[in-house]
Amino acid sequence: MNKHIIWKFFGAFVFLTLIAVFVLNFFVGFKLRDHFEEKISEELRSNALLVGDIITEDLLVGQTGNIRLKIENLARKLDRRITVIGREGKVLADSEKPPTSMESHADRLEIQQALKSGFGQSTRFSQTLGYNMKYVAVRIDSSDKIAGFVRFALPLAQVQLQVRVIYRVVLFGAIVTIIIALTIAYFVSKSITSPIRQMQRAARRIAEGDFKSRAIIKSEDELGQLAKSLNAMADALHKQIADLRKMDTIRTDFVANVSHELKTPLTLIKGYIETLDGSALDDKEKSRRFVRIIKEHADRLENLINDLLSLSELELSPDSLCRTGFDLKILINDIALGFGHALQAGNVTLDINARGDDFNVEADKEKIEQVFVNLIDNGIKYAKDQGRIDISISGDDDAVTVLVEDDGIGIAREHIDRVFERFYRVDKARSRRLGGTGLGLGIAKHIVLAHKGRIQIESTQGRGTKVRVIIPRK
Ligand SMILES: Nc1ncnc2c1ncn2[C@@H]1O[C@H](COP(=O)(O)OP(=O)(O)OP(=O)(O)O)[C@@H](O)[C@H]1O
Ligand SMILES: [Mg+2]
C-alpha cells in the first residue's frame, strides 16, 4: 500500500510536469523561431536598404559595371548573395551568377511585393542556385521614381541550421527542467507520504496492542493534526485499557476479599463446633461460652452478607430508592439512642446539635439510616478513650447537611482517598477485631450518590475525623 500512494503522487507530478514542459516548449520554440526569422528578415532588409543607398546614383545613370563591382565587394563582406534588379525586372547585377544568364525577375514574389509596398520577402527553391533560399527585397526610390530593387538572399539551410540550434537549446532546457521537477516531485511525494506511512505504522502497532506507540509528526498541517488525533486516540485507548485492567483487579480483589471474609468466621465456627463435639459439651460453662462465640461469628457472617447484598443491590439498580418523607434529625436521634450501650462501653459521649428547624427530606429512610449507623459506628470504633462524637445538622432550601465529627485516632493522609473502597481498612487487624469488614463507607457513598447527594471525609491522624453528608431534600 505504501508503495502505491507515493507512486500515485509521483505519477501525477510526472504527468503534470511533462505536460507543462511540453506545452511551454512547444510555444517557446515556435515563438523563438518566428522571432529569429523575423530578425533575419529585418537584418537582410536594412542591409538591402544600405546597399540601395550606395548604388542609387549608379542605377539612375545606368552604370551597371559600377554596380557589379560594388555588389561583388559588398556581398563578399556581408557573406550574402546580393542581386540588383532594374525597374522593369531585368537582373542588373548578381553576386553569384553572371546577370546575363538570368531571366527577368519581374515575376518573383518578393519583387512584386517590393514593387507594391517597398518591401517583400519569400522562401522558395532557387532555380539559379539549385536549393531553397530566403529572399528579401527592397525597392530603391529616387525622387518619386523607382530606380530598381536590391535583393538579399540567404540559403534556407543556413536559417534552418540556426533555428535548429535554438530548438536544441530549448530541448536541453526542457530536459533539465524535467529532471529538476522530477527530483522535487520525488521529495515532495516522499514528504507527504512518509508521515502517512509513519502513522500507518503507528496505527498498526496500536492495533497490535502497543498503546504506547505514537506517530511523531511535527508539522502543523492536516497530517500533523491527523497524527495528533491518532495519538489522542491511542492515549484514550491506553487509559481505557488501564481502567479496564484496574477494574478487573478490583473485581478479583473483591472476590478474594469476600471469600476471605466468609472463610474466617466459618473456619472459626467450624473449629468451635468441633471442639464442642469432642469434649466441651460436657462442660456447661465452656459450652455456653462457645455457643456465644459461635453466635457472634454467625452474626458477623450475616452482617457481611447483608452488606454485600445491599452493595450489589445499589450497584445493580442505583435508582430503586424507596423514598418517603421524614425528619433527618429525628432519624439521627433514634440511631444515637440505639448506640447507647456501645457508647457507654466505649466511654464515648455523643452530642447532637441542630441549626434551624426543618430537616425534612424525601429519601430512602432505611438506606439513609444505614449511612449514619456506619458513621456513628465508625466514630465509636475508632475513638480514643473518653472520646467525643459531635453531630451537627443544618438545612437550607435544597439540602440537609449532617456533619459527624470525632476526636478519635484519625486517618493518615495516604489512606484518606481509599477508605471508600470496598474492604479497605486502614488497620486490618484492628478493624476486624472491632467487627469491621471495610464495606461501611463504600455502601454509604453508594447510598448518598444514589440520592444525588455528597459525602466528604476529612481527617488528621491522631486528631479526629470529620465526615460531611449532604442529602438533597428531594
Ligand atoms: N471515624 C473514623 N476514624 C478513624 N478511622 C476511620 C473512621 N471511619 C473510617 N475509618 C477507617 O476507614 C476504614 C473504612 O471504614 P468503613 O466504615 O468502610 O469500614 P469498617 O468500619 O472497618 O467496617 P464496616 O463499616 O464494614 O463494619 C476503617 O477500617 C477505618 O480504618
Ligand atoms: Mg464502618
DSSP string for residues in 276-294: HHHTGGG-HHHHHHHHHHH
Q: Could you give the angle at which helices 222-278 and 156-207 cross, rounded to 10 degrees?
A: 10
Residues in the ligand 1 pocket, defined by CB under 6 Å:
374, 378-379, 382, 406, 408-411, 419, 424-427, 431, 436-442, 465
d(CA 436, CA 425): 8
DSSP class per residue in 298-349: HHHHHHHHHHHHHHHHHHH-TT---EEEEEHHHHHHHHHHHTHHHHHHHT-E
According to DSSP, the β-strands at 145-155 and 81-86 are antiparallel
Cα 314 off chain centre by: 42
Q: Kindly give the confidence (pLDDT) of every residue in the chain, 474 residues in length, as a single tens digit, with 9 standing for 90 and above.
A: 445 778 888 888 889 888 988 898 888 888 888 888 889 899 999 999 999 999 999 988 888 999 999 999 999 999 899 999 999 999 999 998 899 888 999 999 999 999 999 999 999 888 877 888 899 999 999 888 899 999 999 888 887 888 888 888 888 988 998 899 889 888 888 888 888 888 889 899 988 988 888 888 778 888 888 888 989 999 999 999 999 999 998 888 888 888 888 898 899 999 999 988 887 678 888 889 989 999 999 998 998 899 888 888 888 887 888 999 999 999 999 999 999 999 999 999 999 999 999 999 999 999 999 999 999 999 999 999 899 999 999 999 999 999 999 999 999 999 999 999 988 899 888 877 787 888 999 999 999 999 999 999 999 999 999 999 999 998
d(CA 413, CA 415): 5
| Grid coordinates of 3 | 508503495
Nearest CA to ligand 1 atom 17: 440
Question: Which DSSP state fits 101?
Answer: G
Nearest CA to ligand 1 atom 31: 426
Cell numbers 527542467: residue: 177
Give the torsion through C-alpha atoms of 61, 66, 67, 71, to 10 deg. -160
d(CA 202, CA 279): 73
Cell numbers 553576386: residue: 95
Atom of ligand 1 nearest to the CA of 438: 19
- Judge whether 223 and 195 are in contact, CB under 8 Å: yes
Give the torsion through C-alpha atoms of 292, 296, 302, 304, to 10 deg. -170
Q: Which ligand is nearest to the CA of 445?
A: 1
- Helices and strands (H, E) in the chain, number of each type: 12, 12
Which domains can be identified in the chain, with CATH numbers?
2-162 (3.30.450.20), 211-316 (1.10.287.130), 319-472 (3.30.565.10)
Task: Note the pTM of the prediction, 2 decimals.
Answer: 0.57
**Rounded distance from Cα 371 to ligand 1 centre (Å):** 12
Q: Which ligand is nearest to the CA of 426?
A: 1
